[in-house]
Structure 1
Amino acid sequence: MTDTVIKINQLTKDYGKGRGIFDVDLDVHRGEVFGYVGTNGSGKTTTIRQIMGFVRPDKGQSSVLGYDSWKNATKIMQYVSYIPGEIAFPSLASGTDFLKLQAEYQGVTDFSYMNHVIELLQLDPTANLKRMSKGMKQKTAIVAALMADKEILVMDEPTTGLDPLMRDAFLNLVREEKEKGRTIFMSSHIFEEIEEVCDRVAMIKDGHIVDTLELWQLRHWKTKTFRIYFSSKEELARFTEAFRFVIGKKEAQLCCTVEMPVEETSHLFHILKDYQVSSLREEHLSLEQYFMQVYQKGANKNGKC
């Protein structure tokens, strides 16, 4: 049976006027990277603040390693490293001073991994803390969180302010932490980075969980979609009349789209030998596309579209 590290049950925090989170249920398993996606204002940060025990819930419960988040917030911090969505540093002269203070507070004496993270993120910790750019502040917060070497990482939009190169470097750090067996809860509105490193992802909209998906399912979908380009309108018409899995056609581009069960793929390739095909491309469903489909279905169900 899978070991549950973070458990959220019927969690509700209502700020009024539809703001907050409502009846949220989530389980995060030991050693997995769990993504939490949604647009700005959807409830990601509110959920994370509940996990960390910063806010008392109106209903339901959040727990970490079996400890109630609200009642045992201090105990939980022994096991959790946290990167907040909004970073506020104390009045210290430099990033180095802040990292030294964090090391003392967390009892860190081996700085080898901290130096590795600093090098990977190309951070100059000697810079003036108050004059750091948003990206530099974000890097400093990441270093402070990772150097403690705790078993759980909770990160609220951790790549905010990072350029694409540093975002890739950060995702490599996430992979390193996963290899160590860490459990990682990571919120983001950037679907690509969630898709790259996460094992599972929950989607939140207007404070409600609308779906939870294993990324393996997205990468190994039970259906396949292909876009096929033909040499002429006649060939296109002949194929679309004969093949039952055609879901769309564009005569001007001499192409059609087919969607079929995976086991029918070899049959498609077999019959295409009888047609003059100029090109064929498999269409992969991205996490963002899947998310938009889920949103659209929800909107149609509620009569909003």
Structure 2
Amino acid sequence: MPIIDVEHLTKDYGHGRGVFDVSISVNKGECYGFLGPNGAGKTTTIRHLMGFSKPQKGKTSILGKDSWRFAASLQNSIGYLPGEIALPSDITGTQFLKMMERMRGIRNDAYCKMLLERFELDPNIHTKEMSLGVKRKLAVVTAFMHDPDILILDEPTSGLDPIMQQTFIDYIVSEKERGKTIFLSSHIFHEVDATCDRIAIIKDGRVVSEFIAKDLKEHSNRIYRVTFGDEESYYKFVSLPYQFASKNPKKNRARVHVDDSQINQFISDITSLNVIDFHEFSFTLESYFMQFYKEDKVFEGVKR
């Protein structure tokens, strides 16, 4: 049974806003990346998982329990980090952490101290005086302080500086090694690429691709852009039996898919032609993601 399960979730806010027939699942000990830009439907999905909103269709569940019906009891098992941080204004970070301890009925001073040191947070500051980055670090410590087995993280490093972003990534990797189940929503490619085992791409409220992160990294299909010094060379090349991503006769330029098994033949074919420029495009999470947000879909070959 999946630890986190979303089945045909639909919430239509009108004018194309919301989520539509979203189905995803996260297994125990897995870090699942939910990748998309702002407004794609990531936060709406998470709000349903946390029991803050009721589905119009479908359902969401955690540990086999309906997220809406059992929201209060489930939240004790979850470390939740919201995308937007709202803190009481006339309170110190220390007071806020103590308040959260009382609400959860837990106390783990040693673990909380470790988190404060790891994220370099001085909690003895009033929240109204905190910068966005400090507020985010306080929210991170609050989400993790009870050492939950399930982490639901919405744009977790938003507002953190690059050093703290890397500290956060390292922490998530260590938590995954401890067997935690993690659902991570983000639009930061490096963050998702460094932490996630499986990834879903969401666009306009719909999941448009889901894949195993390792498969994408090991993908053998590459794209090369080749520019020729004359029309004759260009037309000879585009007549060859390759899969072309694009052709530009005005510039005598073409982009071509080449599998690793074809590379020797490809080099042999272009060596005899008048090539004036040659460039390889690496196949990355970002390049794959961008095909869903550009009209000119250059990259293909990964199962959707």
What is the SS of the residue equivalent to 1:224?
strand
- Structure 2 CA distance, aligned partners of 1:297 and 1:271? 30
What is the SS of the residue equivalent to 1:127?
coil
What are the residue-to-residue correspondences of 1:59-208 with 2, within 5 Å? 59-90=57-88, 92-208=90-206
Distance 1:6 1:279, change over 3 A: same
Q: In the alignment, residue 61 of structure 1 is paired with which amino acid?
A: K
Structure 2 length as normaliser, TM-score? 0.83
Deviation at 1:48, TM superposition (A): 0.4
Task: Name the stretch that deviates more: 152-161 or 262-271.
Answer: 262-271
- Structure 2 CA distance, aligned partners of 1:182 and 1:36? 17
Deviation at 1:138, TM superposition (A): 0.6
- Structure 1 CA distance, aligned partners of 2:236 and 2:164? 47
Aligned pairs, number: 296
Asked if the contact 1:45–1:156 (Cα under 8 Å) also holds between the matched residues in 2, the reply is yes
Asked if the contact 2:89–2:126 (Cα under 8 Å) also holds between the matched residues in 1, the reply is no
Unaligned 5+ segments in structure 1 are 300-305
Distance 1:245 1:74, change over 3 A: same
Cross-structure match for 2:16: 18
- Structure 2 CA distance, aligned partners of 1:80 and 1:25? 20
Q: In the alignment, residue 99 of structure 1 is paired with which amino acid?
A: L
Task: Name the stretch that deviates more: 56-65 or 287-296.
Answer: 287-296
Task: Name the stretch that deviates more: 81-90 or 272-281.
Answer: 272-281
Structure 1 length as normaliser, TM-score? 0.82
Deviation at 1:278, TM superposition (A): 10
Deviation at 1:120, TM superposition (A): 2.5
What is the SS of the residue equivalent to 2:69?
coil
- Structure 2 CA distance, aligned partners of 1:56 and 1:192? 32
Asked if the contact 2:234–2:253 (Cα under 8 Å) also holds between the matched residues in 1, the reply is no
Cross-structure match for 1:302: none
1:13-49 CA distance string (max 9 Å, x none): 1222222112111111111111112221221111101
1:79-138 CA distance string (max 9 Å, x none): 111011122223553111111222333344333332232223221111111211111111
Q: How high is the sequence identity, in percent, across the aligned residues?
A: 40
What is the SS of the residue equivalent to 1:201?
strand
Distance 1:281 1:108, change over 3 A: farther
- Structure 1 CA distance, aligned partners of 2:247 and 2:219? 23
Deviation at 1:277, TM superposition (A): 9.6
Q: In the alignment, residue 114 of structure 1 is paired with which amino acid?
A: C
Asked if the contact 2:48–2:60 (Cα under 8 Å) also holds between the matched residues in 1, the reply is yes
- Structure 1 CA distance, aligned partners of 2:60 and 2:296? 26
What are the residue-to-residue correspondences of 1:24-43 with 2, within 5 Å? 24-43=22-41
Q: In the alignment, residue 192 of structure 2 is paired with which amino acid?
A: I
Deviation at 1:238, TM superposition (A): 11
- Structure 2 CA distance, aligned partners of 1:5 and 1:114? 25
What is the SS of the residue equivalent to 1:7?
strand
- Structure 2 CA distance, aligned partners of 1:18 and 1:257? 34
- Structure 2 CA distance, aligned partners of 1:277 and 1:122? 54
Q: CA RMSD in A?
A: 3.3
What are the residue-to-residue correspondences of 1:42-61 with 2, within 5 Å? 42-61=40-59
Asked if the contact 2:107–2:146 (Cα under 8 Å) also holds between the matched residues in 1, the reply is no
Cross-structure match for 2:212: 214
Asked if the contact 2:34–2:199 (Cα under 8 Å) also holds between the matched residues in 1, the reply is yes
Q: In the alignment, residue 35 of structure 2 is paired with which amino acid?
A: V
Cross-structure match for 2:300: none
